[in-house]
Structure 1
Amino acid sequence: MKARLGLNSTTSHRPPSQDKPWMPKSERQKTGRSSGAQPGHSGKTLKMVDHPDEVVTLRVRGHCGCGQAWDSIPVSDELARQVLDLPEIRLHAVEYRAQVKVCPTCHHREQASFPAHVPGQVQYGPRIHGLAVYLNAVHFVPFKRTANILEAVCGAKLSDGTIALSLNVAAERLTAFETELKAALLNQPILHADETGSKVNGKLNWIHVVSCQQLTLYGHHEQRGYAALKDMDVLPRFQGTVIHDAWSMYFQLPAHHALCNAHLLRELRYLAEGHEQTWAAELRSAMQRVYHANKAGILTSEGRAVFLQQFDALVHLGLETNPMAPSFFGQRGRVKQTRRRNLALRCQRHREAILRFLGDEQVPFDNNQAERDIRMTCVKRKVSGGFRSAEGGMNFCRIRSYTSTLHKQGMNLWHGLVSIFRNDILMPNFS
C-alpha cells in the first residue's frame, strides 16, 4: 500500500500534472551546461521592417537660439523609429450585385450568376470561419468564449451553431487530405502510436494517434482496443516498425514492434525504490548507460554484447526473485501475478522489441513523438472539457491531423485553415 501511494510520473504512467510540486520531472542527466541559450544561439529580437506601411515625418519647428527659423533650413539627416502594431480589425463587407437585363425583343430575363462562395443572402467569409476553427480546434477555446473573442475583436456575433457548422465544413472538406495522409503513413518505415481518454457527453471515449516526424493522424473512437485501430485503417495494414507502450492490442498488429523504454525506466524505478528490487535498479542503470553510449556513437560491439548478457541475467534474476504466485485448489482461470513478476516477464517475452533501438539506428529509445502528439488532448480536456457528440470528436481529430501536420512541416496554420473555406486547400508534403 505504501508503494502504491508513492506512485508518481517518475515511477509509473501517471501524468506529471498529478505529481507533488517538488517531485523531479525528468529522467535527463545533467550536462553541466548553464541554463538558457547556449553559445552560438542566434536568438530573436524585434527588428525594423524595410518597407513600412506608413511614414510619419516629424518636422523641426520654431527658431534656433540665434534667432534663425528652422523652417528655412534644409534637412541634413533623419532618424527613424518604428511601431509595429495590428491595423484596426473589423468586418469587411463585400456586396455582390448581380445585374438583371430584359431583352426588348423577346422579353427574356437574364441574370448574372453569383460566385459559388456566395450561396445565401448574407454569410460570413473564409477568414471568420477560419479564425473560429483556429480558436476552437487549435487553441481549445470553448464555443461561447470563441464567440465572445470574435465579437470583441472584430464585431462578428457568431452563434454556437455557426461555429459548429464551421467545424463540420472544415472536417468534410479535409476528407481527401485524410485519405492521402493515411497512404503516406503506410509508406513510412517507423510509426509511433498512443492513446488517451476523451469524454463525449460525460462518457469515456478514446483519442488515438499514429504519427511520425512529419505527419500526424488522430482518430476518435468509443473503444480503446483494436476496433479503434481498425477504424483508423493504418496500423492494421502497416508493415514497418510501430513504437508503442506495450498495450496488448498493439501486439495484434502485423508490424514489427519497438517498446517505449521511457515507460520501462519509470517502472523499474518504481520496483527499485518502492519494493527494493536490486535487479530492477541495476537493469535501469544498465539501460541508461547503453542508451547514452549508443546515442553518442561510442557503443562498441563488445560493449553491446556485454550489455545483452547483463540484460538477460538481470531479467532471469528478476524472475527468480519474484516466483510465480501459487494456484489454489479449485481456482479457475489464470493466476494473477505480482506487478514485479509481470515486468520481468515482459522484459523476457518482448526482449527484441525493448532492445530494437540497438539494432536499428532509425528506431528511437522512447515513444516521445506520440507522447508529444497526444499531449494536446490532455490540454483540451483541462481547458474546454469533452465533446457534445461523437461527430464533434471525429471532426476535431481530422482538423487536428491537418494542423499538426502543417505545423510539423513549418507551414502557416492560419493560411491553411482559411484555404479550407476558400475550397483551395493548402496541402502538406506527403512524399
Structure 2
Amino acid sequence: MNTPTPPIDKDALIASLLERIEVLMAQNAALAARVAELEAKLGLPPKTPDNSSLPPSKGQKPSLPSVPKRKAKPHPGAHRLLHSNPTRHHDVLALSCQACGADVSGAEQSPCEVYDRVEIPTTEPDVTRVSLHGGTCPCCAKRFKAEPPAGLEPGSPFGPNIRAFVIYLRAVQGIPLARLRDALLDLFGLTISEGALVNMLSAAAAPFKAGVSLIKVRLLGGTAIASDETGVRVGRANWWLWVFHHGDSAVFVADAHRSKAVVEAFLGDHRPDFWTSDRLGAQAGWARKDHQVCLAHLIRDVQYAIEAGDAVLGPGLKHLLERACAIGRRRTTLKNATLKAYEADLERRLDRTMALDPTHPAGTKLKRMILKVRSQLFVFVQNRDLEATNNGSERALRPCAVYRKITNGFRQEWGAHLYADIRSVIETARRRSVRAIDAIRLTLRGQPIAVPA
C-alpha cells in the first residue's frame, strides 16, 4: 500500500526559497568582489566600445543633464519642400480686400502663398470575387469549366501588393508575426492568420534568391569587396550573418560558421583585386593584390594599449592613423599627385613611429600587431575605390542587429536564408536610390533592380 505524500507547507517552502536566494546573492557578491580584485591586480583597463570591438550597446553611457545645451552654431530653420507631383491643384482667388473690403474678384491676381495638404486615403481591401462558370458540353457530354483570368488564378487569395507589404513590414521594419497580423487588421481591415503570413514569406524565397543571384554577379564583376559579419540566433544555435559589398551592390549570407569556408563558398573561383575588412583571419587572404585593414578597429586597439600604460608607441600611432582617416575623407577634393605625396609621408611617419621601442608590455604587443599588417594600412590612399575603415560593412549590418534585438532570431534555417536574401535586395536598392517597397515589388515580379547610370 502506497504511503500518501504529506502536504507541502507553503510558508516553509517560501522561506526555504528566500534563504536559497540570499545564499546565491551572497555568493554572487563574493565572486564580483573577487573579479574586481583580480582586475585591479592585473592593472588592465576595462574593454569598452572606445578601445575595443565591443558594440556601442555594450558600453555604459554617462549620465548627462536632461536639458540639452544650446547649439554652438545655430542655423536658420528649414521648411518642408513642396511635392514634385501633387495629386490635384486647388487655386483660390480672393473675393474681397482684407484692408478695405472692396470687391477684387475682377482684379488681376497671382499666387501669394503656396502650400501642400497631405493626406492618406482610407484603405480597405480590394476584393475580387471570381466565379468560373461551367456546364455540360452539348457535343461530347463532358463537363467543362472556364479558364481563370491571368493574375486571378486559384490558390492564395492574397495579391502581390499584400505580399510586398507583408515582406516589407516583417523584414524591413522587424514587426513580429502576431503584431503584423494585428497591424494589417487595424490599418487595412484585412484578416490574415499567422500561418498565412508564414506561407507568404516562404513563397517569396524563390524570387528573392533569383534576385540575389543577379546582384552577386555584378558584385563579383568588380575589383574590390568589403566584408564583415554579425551574430544571429537560428533555432537553438548561434549562426552568423555575413555581408559582402562594394559600390551599389551588397549580398548577405546566413551561415552556421564564421570560418574561411563561408567566404570560399561565396567567392567560388573568383578573387577580387582588393579586399577591405577587419583583422579576422577568415576575412584575410582573399585579395589578389592588396588587403586594406579597418583603421577604425586599429585606432580602438591603440587606444586600449594607451589606457593599459603604453606611452611610447601608442600616442604617435593613434595620431598617425587618425591623420590617414582624415586624408581618406578628403580624397574627393585631392588630386592623384597629392594623394601619392600623402601616402609617402604617411609611410615615412610610420617608419619613424615603428622605430620606437616601447617599454610597456601593451606597447610591445601593439608593435607586434602593427608589424603583421604593416603593408595593409595605407592601401586606400591612392585607391579611390577603397575606404580607410570598414564602416560601410557595419552600416549595412546595423539593421540586421536591430532586427535581431526585436525578434531574437529565427526559428528555422529557411527564415535566416530568406532574411539574408531580402536584406541583399533592400541594401542594394538603397545604394541604387530605389525605395525598399519598390525593390520588393520588382523582385516578386522577377524584375531586376535598376543599375545606376
TM-score, structure 1 length as denominator?
A: 0.80
Counterpart CA distance in 2 for 1:279 and 1:381 is 39
User: Could you say which residue in structure 2 is the equivalent of 1:379?
Assistant: 402
User: Per chain length, whose mean CA-contact separation is higher, i.e. which structure has more relative contact order (CA < 8 Å, sep 6+)?
Assistant: 1
Counterpart CA distance in 1 for 2:124 and 2:386 is 50
2:177 to 120, 130, 143: 143
User: Could you say which residue in structure 1 is the equivalent of 2:82?
Assistant: 47
Displacement after TM superposition at 1:359 (Å): 4.1
Q: Percent identity?
A: 20
User: Could you say which residue in structure 1 is the equivalent of 2:351?
Assistant: 312
Displacement after TM superposition at 1:182 (Å): 1.5
Moved more, 407-416 or 74-83: 74-83
Counterpart CA distance in 2 for 1:101 and 1:143 is 43
Counterpart CA distance in 1 for 2:122 and 2:136 is 43
Counterpart CA distance in 2 for 1:309 and 1:430 is 40
1:143-182 equivalent positions in 2, closer than 5 A = 143-182=177-216
User: Does 1:196 find its partner at 2:230?
Assistant: yes
In 2 relative to 1, CA 377–49 (structure 1 residues): closer, same or farther, beyond 3 Å?
closer
1:284 to 303, 318, 323: 318
User: Could you say which residue in structure 1 is the equivalent of 2:221?
Assistant: 187
Displacement after TM superposition at 1:150 (Å): 0.8
Amino acid of the structure 2 residue aligned with 1:146: L
Per-residue displacement from partner, 1:13-35 (whole Å, max 9, x unpaired)?
A: 111222222399xxxxxxx9936
Moved more, 266-275 or 79-88: 79-88
Displacement after TM superposition at 1:236 (Å): 6.2
Per-residue displacement from partner, 1:182-211 (whole Å, max 9, x unpaired)?
A: 211111122110001101124211000001
- Secondary structure (helix, strand or coil) at the match of 1:174 reads helix
User: Could you say which residue in structure 1 is the equivalent of 2:73?
Assistant: 34
Counterpart CA distance in 2 for 1:183 and 1:49 is 35
User: Could you say which residue in structure 2 is the equivalent of 1:331?
Assistant: none
Amino acid of the structure 2 residue aligned with 1:147: R
Amino acid of the structure 2 residue aligned with 1:403: I
User: Could you say which residue in structure 2 is the equivalent of 1:247?
Assistant: 280
Question: 1:193–1:209: 8 Å Cα contact kept in structure 2?
Answer: yes
User: Could you say which residue in structure 1 is the equivalent of 2:51?
Assistant: 11
- Secondary structure (helix, strand or coil) at the match of 1:321 reads coil
The alignment's C-alpha RMSD in Å is 3.6
Per-residue displacement from partner, 1:200-248 (whole Å, max 9, x unpaired)?
A: 12421100000112111000011111122233x2276222211000101
Question: 2:225–2:276: 8 Å Cα contact kept in structure 1?
Answer: yes
Counterpart CA distance in 2 for 1:358 and 1:49 is 40
- Secondary structure (helix, strand or coil) at the match of 2:197 reads helix
User: Could you say which residue in structure 1 is the equivalent of 2:412?
Assistant: 389
TM-score, structure 2 length as denominator?
A: 0.76
Counterpart CA distance in 1 for 2:184 and 2:347 is 60
User: Could you say which residue in structure 2 is the equivalent of 1:343?
Assistant: 366
Counterpart CA distance in 1 for 2:91 and 2:325 is 60
Question: 2:227–2:277: 8 Å Cα contact kept in structure 1?
Answer: yes
In 2 relative to 1, CA 307–230 (structure 1 residues): closer, same or farther, beyond 3 Å?
closer
Where structure 1 has 5 or more consecutive residues not aligned to the other structure, the ranges are 25-31, 61-65, 323-337
Where structure 2 has 5 or more consecutive residues not aligned to the other structure, the ranges are 1-38, 65-70, 96-100
Q: What is the aligned residue count? A: 395
Displacement after TM superposition at 1:373 (Å): 0.5
Displacement after TM superposition at 1:78 (Å): 10
Question: 2:442–2:449: 8 Å Cα contact kept in structure 1?
Answer: no
User: Could you say which residue in structure 1 is the equivalent of 2:35?
Assistant: none
Amino acid of the structure 2 residue aligned with 1:45: R
Per-residue displacement from partner, 1:51-85 (whole Å, max 9, x unpaired)?
A: 5459699999xxxxx9xxx9xx9787799875311
In 2 relative to 1, CA 140–36 (structure 1 residues): closer, same or farther, beyond 3 Å?
farther
Per-residue displacement from partner, 1:363-390 (whole Å, max 9, x unpaired)?
A: 2211111111111121112222111112
User: Could you say which residue in structure 1 is the equivalent of 2:34?
Assistant: none
2:380 to 350, 357, 364: 357
- Secondary structure (helix, strand or coil) at the match of 1:34 reads coil
Per-residue displacement from partner, 1:293-332 (whole Å, max 9, x unpaired)?
A: 46363857666444323313323435x535xxxxxxxxxx
In 2 relative to 1, CA 58–100 (structure 1 residues): closer, same or farther, beyond 3 Å?
farther
Counterpart CA distance in 2 for 1:183 and 1:213 is 13
User: Could you say which residue in structure 1 is the equivalent of 2:127?
Assistant: 93
In 2 relative to 1, CA 283–174 (structure 1 residues): closer, same or farther, beyond 3 Å?
same
User: Does 1:425 find its partner at 2:450?
Assistant: no
- Secondary structure (helix, strand or coil) at the match of 1:14 reads coil
In 2 relative to 1, CA 51–10 (structure 1 residues): closer, same or farther, beyond 3 Å?
closer
Displacement after TM superposition at 1:250 (Å): 1.7
User: Could you say which residue in structure 1 is the equivalent of 2:12?
Assistant: none
- Secondary structure (helix, strand or coil) at the match of 1:196 reads strand
In 2 relative to 1, CA 212–98 (structure 1 residues): closer, same or farther, beyond 3 Å?
same
